[in-house]
Amino acid sequence: ETGVTQSPTHLIKTRGQQVTLRCSSQSGHNTVSWYQQALGQGPQFIFQYYREEENGRGNFPPRFSGLQFPNYSSELNVNALELDDSALYLCASSSPGQGTYEQYFGPGTRLTVT
Amino acid sequence: AQSVTQLDSQVPVFEEAPVELRCNYSSSVSVYLFWYVQYPNQGLQLLLKYLSGSTLVKSINGFEAEFNKSQTSFHLRKPSVHISDTAEYFCAVRMKTSYDKVIFGPGTSLSVIP
């Protein structure tokens, strides 16, 4: 069984640029959630995708967008990067139908905006 | 709206001593409760969860947590800590009526001193 994987591991971007982060969900999971974890803080929910549709969103501006593909992998896109976007971005997969309510997290992508 | 409070940002404890990490939550609806652990430069791992039934839940590595509905608390305890328990610990809640959105607390950094 393959766990949740994310790429790239680290990324450095300049303010105003755009970035795409990728996540492969755990085998059998059809739901992907994205979180932003600033240094020294707990993860903050960005949004969730279920069967290729966004079905929940946290308090993040529209420049944060995403996609989910038929194989349930997902992308997080951030436009017009700001310095405060520097954080660890975590992807988590789950399968609500299993009734375990567990989310399985990937190792994260560390984004630095300069 | 839901929120999670972890009053202790840092907890130093000597090896083999007991520890308690405190978690309180606020919610207008019923929630599921979780504790996650994050080792340096890694993603989050589920430590234990409370969904229903017995209010005392235990992990395979000696941690336990007790759900107290009247005090809206879900404190994490371990009778004897090891060096390997040094990590960041996050308490989290998920609404029973919502999609798979998880609200995390700010985290408690546990440092085990040899």
* pLDDT per position as a tens digit, A29-75: 889 999 999 998 999 999 999 989 998 899 999 999 999 999 999 99
- Chain B contact set for A50 (CB, 8 A): 99-100
Give CA–CA dist B18/B16, Å, rounded: 7
Find out whether B10 and B21 touch, Cβ atoms under 8 Å: no
Query: Tokens 């999971």 map to which residue?
Result: A29
Residue A47: per-residue pLDDT: 94
- Residue A110 tokens read as 């560390």
CA of A78 to nearest chain B CA: how many angstroms apart? Answer: 20
User: What is the mean predicted confidence (pLDDT) over B42-68?
Assistant: 92
Is residue B73's pLDDT more than 90? Answer: yes
Contact call for A102 and B104, based on CB within 8 A: no
Q: Please classify residue B91 by burial: count the beta carbons closer than 10 Å to its beta carbon, then call 0-12 exposed, 13-18 middle and 19+ buried.
A: buried
